[in-house]
Amino acid sequence: MRHDDTTTTEHPVLGSPARRLLTHSAVRNGLAAATVTAVGLLAVYTVDDFTVGSVAMLTAYACVAMGLTVLIGGNGQISLGHAALMAVGAYTMALFLEPRTTALREVPVLSVALALVLAVLVTLCVGLLIGLAAARLRGPYLAGATLSFGVAVPGLVTYFDHWFNGEQGLPVPPPDMPTALDNALWLPDRFVALIGVVAVGVTFFVLANVKRSAVGRHWAAVRDDEIAAQLCGLSIPREQVTAFAVSAATAGLGGAVLALFLQGVNPHSFDLRLSLGVLAAVVIGGLGSLRGAIWGSALVVFLQKVLADMDVDENLPSASYGLLLIVVMLAAPGGIQGLLSRLGDRLPRRSTHHQGDN
């Protein structure tokens, strides 16, 4: 992004004002987020009743994966316990919605929206706490500590069973659909997928802008060289804690969407498998890339779905994304988005101002 306000004549590369507007990063990110949302909405409207559940699942994965990719790829901190943060969001959702259930065992859409916001805020606070500890840890220590956090949370949930109802977990009532959608015979899943797509769009827009803002660049500076960043006056712990908190917040959002889709939450739906699944999505998509996180989530979710439909061994999806994780990390650390960008770079570009990818 380069503003060239000193030249009075038209800039030779940026060209007309319209082109200029297009290269402004907030507008560009807005357009990208709108595209993501539009594609998502198209999917929600067109897919059949069997696939729409996977779309809802995908939106939940994508929210978490985008936050995780910003944390790992953007700030250099790893987390193997994001499922626990998702659980925080999901339980917040369940506890908030329970008293707001109508006679039909549904909740008003407004309450759902409030619950999503609340889930984000609560998880943000938890993320701040964990981030404070995480900022003092590096590499393998951080990986192990977050792993330990991830497996600890289900135990806490069962211990405080008068709040969380132990192993059975809590129900999450379905949202009360607008009459128009009710008349169109929409299943609750489809409506949840719609909510999920909006959540993904918002997350994408916010994170894309954060990445290109001063904050995002601070995070990247800390990732690349802590000492150099410190010399530039950055507080390393502060950058790491904020990155962790933001990443946690999106995990809370994803967890809340997942709870809405599953219509309930219990400790087992947020186990190590989920943390590792999201990590796989992030790595396969390409570390640090928001679009990559969405590609990766789609791959992981639909791999599970397609292989489950083909009635092959139930372990095959995990086996294949485990293998993909290794191959990608060793052979193509840029992941899917890295490959796409490399393809894109081969094409002639109209603008020499390469803006980097989100």
Partner 1 sequence: MERFILFTVNGLTLGAIYASMALALVIIWRSTRVLNFAQGAQAAASAYIAWSVTDVTGSFWLGLAAALVGGAVLGVLVQQTVFRRAESMPPLNSAVVGVGLLILIEAALGMLFAVDETRTIGSAFSTKSYQAGSLPLVSPQDLFVVGAVTLTVVTLGLLLARTAVGLRMRAAAFAPQTARLMGVQVPLMLSLGWALAGVAGGLAAMLYTPTATELVPTVLDGLLVLGFTAAIVGGLDSLVGAVTGGLACGLALSYTSGYSQPDLLLPVAFLLLIGVLLARPQGLFSSSRTRKV
Residue selected from 31, 34, 113, 155 as contacting partner 1 according to rule CB under 8 A: 155
Question: Taking the complex as a whole, how short is the minimal distance between the CB of residue 328 and partner 1, in angstroms?
Answer: 8
State yes or no: residue 280 binds partner 1 (CB under 8 A).
Answer: yes
What's the rounded Cα separation, in Å, for the pair 119 and 92? 5
Q: Which long-range contacts (CB under 8 A, 24 or more apart) does 176-180 make?
A: 176/102, 176/104, 176/106, 176/107, 176/108, 176/109, 177/109, 178/109
Sole residue written with tokens 């700030």:
75
State yes or no: residue 193 binds partner 1 (CB under 8 A).
Answer: no
* Residues in region 110-139 near partner 1 by CB under 8 A: 133, 135-139
For residue 234, the Cα-to-chain-centroid distance in whole angstroms is 26
Sole residue written with tokens 């081969």:
346
Nearer to partner 1, 76 or 173 (CB): 76
What's the rounded Cα separation, in Å, for the pair 2 and 357? 16
- Which SS3 state, helix, strand or coil, does residue 264 take? strand
Instruction: Judge contact between 241 and 131, C-beta under 8 A.
Output: yes
Nearer to partner 1, 144 or 178 (CB): 144
Q: How many residues does the chain have?
A: 358
Convert residues 49-88 into a mask of x (bound to partner 1 by CB under 8 A) and - (unbound). Answer: -----------------------x---x-x-x--------
Nearer to partner 1, 182 or 224 (CB): 224
State yes or no: residue 339 binds partner 1 (CB under 8 A).
Answer: no
Residue selected from 13, 314, 351, 355 as contacting partner 1 according to rule CB under 8 A: 314
State yes or no: residue 233 binds partner 1 (CB under 8 A).
Answer: no
The angle subtended at Cα 336 by Cα 344 and Cα 202, nearest 5°, is 90
Distances (CA, A) of 82 to 77, 308, 346: 12, 25, 36
Pick the closest to residue 297 from 69, 42, 50 (CA basis): 69
Residue selected from 178, 333, 344, 356 as contacting partner 1 according to rule CB under 8 A: 333
State yes or no: residue 21 binds partner 1 (CB under 8 A).
Answer: no
State yes or no: residue 313 binds partner 1 (CB under 8 A).
Answer: yes
Question: Taking the complex as a whole, how short is the minimal distance between the CB of residue 135 and partner 1, in angstroms?
Answer: 7
Q: Which stretch binds partner 1 (CB under 8 A): 3-11, 117-125, 189-197, 329-337?
A: 329-337
State yes or no: residue 332 binds partner 1 (CB under 8 A).
Answer: no
Q: What DSSP element (H or E) covers 49?
A: none
Residue selected from 181, 187, 215, 272 as contacting partner 1 according to rule CB under 8 A: 272
State yes or no: residue 309 binds partner 1 (CB under 8 A).
Answer: no
Residue selected from 145, 222, 248, 340 as contacting partner 1 according to rule CB under 8 A: 145
State yes or no: residue 276 binds partner 1 (CB under 8 A).
Answer: yes
Torsion (CA) 73, 77, 78, 79 in degrees, nearest 10: -120
State yes or no: residue 108 binds partner 1 (CB under 8 A).
Answer: no
Instruction: Judge contact between 341 and 358, C-beta under 8 A.
Output: no
Residue selected from 24, 34, 102, 159 as contacting partner 1 according to rule CB under 8 A: 159
DSSP class of 173 = P
What is the sign of the dihedral through the CA atoms of 329, 332, 302 and 294?
positive
State yes or no: residue 268 binds partner 1 (CB under 8 A).
Answer: no
Binding site for partner 1 (CB under 8 A): 72, 76, 78, 80, 133, 135-141, 143-145, 147-149, 151-156, 158-159, 236-237, 272, 276, 279-280, 283, 313-319, 321-326, 329-330, 333
